[in-house]
Amino acid sequence: MKKPPVYTGGFFILQRLICNEYSGIMGKMKKFILILFVCVSMLSCSPLGAASLRIDTDYRLRGVSFSNVDFDASTSTDAIHYYSQQLKIAITGRPADKIEIGTKITSLGVVGSTNTIFAVPYPRTDFTPYIENAYLKLENFSDIPLDIIIGKQSIIFGDGLVISDNGAGFNALRFIGRYDKPLPLQAEIFTAKISENFRPNSDHDLYGGVLQTTWRNLLWEIGYFEDNDASGSKYRQGGLETGTQAIVKQFYDFRIGKKEDIAAYQFEIVKQGGYVKKTDNSSIQLDGMGYLAYGHLVGEKTKLGKVKAHALLQVSSGDDNTSALDDADESFSPDFTRRYDGIERAGYGELFAATPSDSFFALPAPYSGIGTLSVGAEFSPLYAWTFGATYFLYSASQGPRGAPNASGFERLFGAEFALGVELDLSVEYVHSKYTAARFSFNRYTPPHYDIYWPKTEPDGRYQLEITTRF
pLDDT higher than threshold 60 for residue 390: yes
pLDDT computed for residue 233 by the predictor: 93
pLDDT computed for residue 351 by the predictor: 96
Q: CB burial class (10 A; 0-12, 13-18, 19+) of residue 207?
A: middle
pLDDT computed for residue 67 by the predictor: 87
pLDDT computed for residue 42 by the predictor: 47
pLDDT computed for residue 73 by the predictor: 61
Q: pLDDT-based confidence at 112, cuts 50/70/90?
A: confident
Selection from 418, 419, 422 nearest residue 444 by Cα? 422
Question: What is the average pLDDT across 260-268?
Answer: 93
CATH of the domain at 224: 2.40.160.100
pLDDT computed for residue 72 by the predictor: 67
Question: What is the average pLDDT across 373-392?
Answer: 96
Cis-peptide, bond into residue 182, ω within 30° of zero: yes
How much of the chain, in percent, has pLDDT values that exceed 90? 68
pLDDT higher than threshold 50 for residue 451: yes
How much of the chain, in percent, has pLDDT values that exceed 70? 88
pLDDT higher than threshold 50 for residue 114: yes
pLDDT higher than threshold 90 for residue 324: no
- Provide the whole-model pTM: 0.86
The domain tally of the chain equals 1
Q: Which of 232-246, 418-432, 454-468 has the highest mean pLDDT?
A: 418-432
Mean model confidence pLDDT for the chain: 87
Number of CB atoms found within 10 A of residue 90's CB: 16
Structural domain of 56: 5-469
